[in-house]
Chain A
Amino acid sequence: KNQVEQSPQSLIILEGKNCTLQCNYTVSPFSNLRWYKQDTGRGPVSLTIMTFSENTKSNGRYTATLDADTKQSSLHITASQLSDSASYICVVSDAGGTSYGKLTFGQGTILTVHP
C-alpha cells in the first residue's frame, strides 16, 4: 500500500532559526514529489515539485531534497519568519499505467515560528 509519512508531527522554532521537515514514502512506481504549504484557514499552495532525476530544488528560503533510492525527501527552511507558521504537506504521485497518476498525501507537519 502506498504511504507517505511525515515527521515531526509538529515543530516549534524561534524566528530566524533554520529547520528541516522529513518525508518518507513507499509509493511505487514513483513519478514526482511535491511540498505544499497550508496556512491556517487557507488551501494548500505548492512550494516545489521534484521528479526522479532531481536531487534538490529551491524556492526562496525553502529548499527541498529528494533521495529516490532511500525514498526520502526533506524540506529545509532557512532564516524562518513568522509567516512560515503553517502546515507543510508532502504529496507523492505514482507513475501508473496512464498519464494521470495517483496522489498519496502525508498528514503534514505543523510548524510554529515564535518571535
Chain B
Amino acid sequence: ETGVTQTPRHLVMGMTNKKSLKCEQHLGHNAMYWYKQSAKKPLELMFVYSLEERVENNSVPSRFSPECPNSSHLFLHLHTLQPEDSALYLCASSQSRDRGETQYFGPGTRLLVL
C-alpha cells in the first residue's frame, strides 16, 4: 500500500444528503490533494493544501467543501450534490508541492449520487 488511506471506499447518497470523505496519509508529507476521476476523462484537480493551507481551488462548486485540520488529514464535505458528481474521488499527498515530487494516491472513494 502507498501509505494514503481513504474512507469510505464506496458511498451512495441522495441529492439532499450531507456526507464527508476522509483521507489520511502516513508518509509525513506536507501537501495534500483532492482529485475527481470520471469515466474516460482525465483526472481533475479540485483542491491543493500545503502545510494545512488551501493554496489552490480549481473552480470547484461550493457544494464541495474541503477541510485540512492538520498535515495528515484531509476531508471533503459534500452537500446537495448532483448526479453528475458521481465519480471516483482520489486523495493524494506529496512531500511538497515542488514539481519534481511524486504524488502518492489513496485508493479512492467511489461516489454515486442518486
Contact = CB atoms under 8 A, between A and B. Distances in A.
| Main SS at interface, chain B | loop
Interface residues of B, number: 21
A43 B108 contact: yes
A95 B98 CA distance: 10
Contact of A43 (B42, B45, B99, B106): B106
B99 A99 contact: yes
Interface stretch (A12-20, A53-61, A77-85, A103-111): A103-111
Given A4-B42, A89-B43, A105-B43, A43 B105 contact: yes
A49 B94 CA distance: 15
B100 A32 contact: yes
Interface string B72-114: 0000000000000000001110000111101111111000000
Given A41-B107, A43-B90, A107 B98 contact: no
Contacts, number: 52
Nearest to A9: B40
B102 A42 contact: no
B99 A32 contact: yes
Contact of A93 (B4, B42, B99, B105): B99
24 contacts: A4-B42, A9-B40, A31-B100, A32-B99, A32-B100, A34-B102, A41-B107, A42-B107, A43-B2, A43-B4, A43-B105, A43-B106, A43-B108, A45-B2, A46-B102, A46-B103, A49-B100, A49-B102, A95-B99, A99-B98, A101-B99, A103-B45, A104-B42, A105-B42
